[in-house]
Amino acid sequence: MTFPYNFFTAAFAGAFLTTLLALPLWRKWCLRINLVDDPGHRKIHSEPIPLAGGFAVLTGILLPLFVGAILLKLGIVKISSAGLIVHGIDRRALELGAIAFGAIAITFLGWLDDKHELKALPKFAGQFLIALLVASACKRITLFVPSEIFSYAITILWLLTVINAFNFMDNMNGLCAGVGAIGATLFALIAVKDGEYLVALTGFLMCGALLGFLPWNFPKAKSFLGDAGSHLTGYLLAVMAILPHFYNKHNPHPFAVLAPLFVLAIPLLDLAQVSLFRTLNKKPFWIGDTNHLSHRLVRAGLNRTQAVLVLWLAAIAIGAIACCL
């Protein structure tokens, strides 16, 4: 069966253009309600920057998905494998609904954090409830352990880890969005190879939306992702790592289950090293500092743009291993 490349190209383009064009509208709204990142400690911008990126990215993903699903269901758009895609949407409607609801909820949680600077406990509680919802409604990680309790625990732990890894990594212009776009692309390519149409669709939509945001954020920022955007990015990538069957009859290598670790190696490594550093220095691991990988590269002599580009290249190079697995 011919893979519907035109459909996924349209999804990518739709998400890119929607985000690119929606961002100015969200930016004006953020300025009107004073949802901005003010200059201050550990910040290099000299004027308030709107935290509009998360809302624009969410719009860029959900609006093309909603419109495309309607057009396919009504038969207005004719593409190869349309029947298979519609069947997949119908068969996994509950799962897709839970993922979409989780995306909206995690963005809202991030918005609350942006607006009110939530304390660690309520913020973590919100993340946990959303992760529990996804673990209940979607596929769960098993790691070949025949225990439902274990699968719930490891799936929730994975979701919380990746969400916070991207939240931590949102510390330089273009870093979180760029690494997120790279991860989404790699997951999409793996899904294409395995015929996972809905996972591929999510990946292309997410990649398009994040790339549509980047011109507003890199190298000079006119808008930030904010916690809303970094939470959404981490959430969707964590979910995309759960949905596919990396280990299957076509790819029976046990190490295939490690593919998501390579795709998300840079944010996970950054989370691990900065958390370890803070713990050894007897500081709460959730309190920000300047010891992230990006900051270390700057102290090594790179400027901020160069540091971000190096981490993008590292994410591509390490993530490519996942495609081999």
- Locate 318 and state its tokens: 């390490």
**Residue type at position 37:** D
* H or E stretch at 36: strand 36-37
DSSP E strand stretches across the chain: 36-37, 49-50
Residue 16: name the closest of 149, 270, 212 by CA. Answer: 212
* pTM: predicted TM-score of the whole model, two decimal places: 0.93
Residue 200: name the closest of 45, 4, 1 by CA. Answer: 4
Residue 230: name the closest of 205, 210, 208, 216 by CA. Answer: 210
- Locate 262 and state its tokens: 């390579």
- SS3 at position 49: strand
- SS3 at position 180: helix
Q: Where are the domains of the chain?
A: 5-247
DSSP state of 140: -
Contacts of 98 (CB under 8 A, 6+ apart): 133, 134, 136, 137, 138
CA separation for the pair 101, 40 (Å, rounded): 34
User: In the predicted model, is pLDDT for residue 178 greater than 70?
Assistant: yes
* H or E stretch at 173: none
251 forms beta bridges with 248
CA separation for the pair 19, 41 (Å, rounded): 30
Q: Number of helices (H) and strands (E), helices first, in the chain?
A: 13, 2
- SS3 at position 1: coil
CA separation for the pair 78, 254 (Å, rounded): 39
Task: For residue range 280-296, list pLDDT tens digits in order.
Answer: 998 988 888 889 999 99
Percent of the chain with pLDDT over 90: 66
Task: For residue range 93-132, list pLDDT tens digits in order.
Answer: 788 889 999 999 999 999 999 999 999 999 999 999 999 9
Task: For residue range 41-71, list pLDDT tens digits in order.
Answer: 666 666 899 999 999 999 999 999 888 878 7
Question: Is residue 203 a contact partner of residue 191, using CB atoms and an 8 Å limit?
Answer: yes
